[in-house]
Amino acid sequence: GIQVEQSPPDLILQEGANSTLRCNFSDSVNNLQWFHQNPWGQLINLFYIPSGTKQNGRLSATTVATERYSLLYISSSQTTDSGVYFCAVDSWGKFQFGAGTQVVVTP
Amino acid sequence: DGGITQSPKYLFRKEGQNVTLSCEQNLNHDAMYWYRQDPGQGLRLIYYSQIVNDFQKGDIAEGYSVSREKKESFPLTVTSAQKNPTAFYLCASSKGLAGDEQFFGPGTRLTVL
Distance from CA of B27 to the nearest CA of A (A): 15
What are the residue boundaries of the structural domains of chain A, listed by start?
A: 4-106
pLDDT of residue B97: 67
pLDDT of residue B1: 60
Closest CA to A7 of A29, A28, A24, A19: A24
- Tell me the CA distances in angstroms from B8 to A61, B32, B47, B59, B71, one per residue in order: 34, 18, 19, 24, 20
pLDDT tens for B57-106 read 999 999 999 999 999 999 999 998 888 999 999 999 999 867 789 999 99
To which H or E segment does residue A5 belong? strand A4-7
Whether A1 has its CB under 8 Å from any CB of chain B: the answer is yes
pLDDT of residue B99: 76
What SS3 state is found at B17? coil
Q: What is the mean pLDDT of chain B?
A: 93
Whether A30 has its CB under 8 Å from any CB of chain B: the answer is yes
**What is the rounded distance in angstroms from the CA atom of residue A8 to the CA atom of residue A80?**
19
Distance from CA of B70 to the nearest CA of A (A): 21
Distance from CA of B4 to the nearest CA of A (A): 11
Selected residue with higher pLDDT from B50 and B1:
B50
Closest CA to B94 of B86, B102, B83: B102
Regions of chain A with pLDDT less than 70: none
CATH architecture type of domain A4-106: Sandwich (2.60)
Share of chain A above pLDDT 90, in %: 87
**What is the rounded distance in angstroms from the CA atom of residue B10 to the CA atom of residue B19?**
12
pLDDT of residue A18: 97
Q: Which of A48, A94, A100 sits opposite B45 (nearest CB)?
A: A94
pLDDT of residue A95: 85
Whether A39 has its CB under 8 Å from any CB of chain B: the answer is no
Measured over the CA atoms of residue A99, residue A69, residue B92 and residue B51, the dihedral's sign is negative
Count of CB contacts below 8 A, A vs B?
A: 55
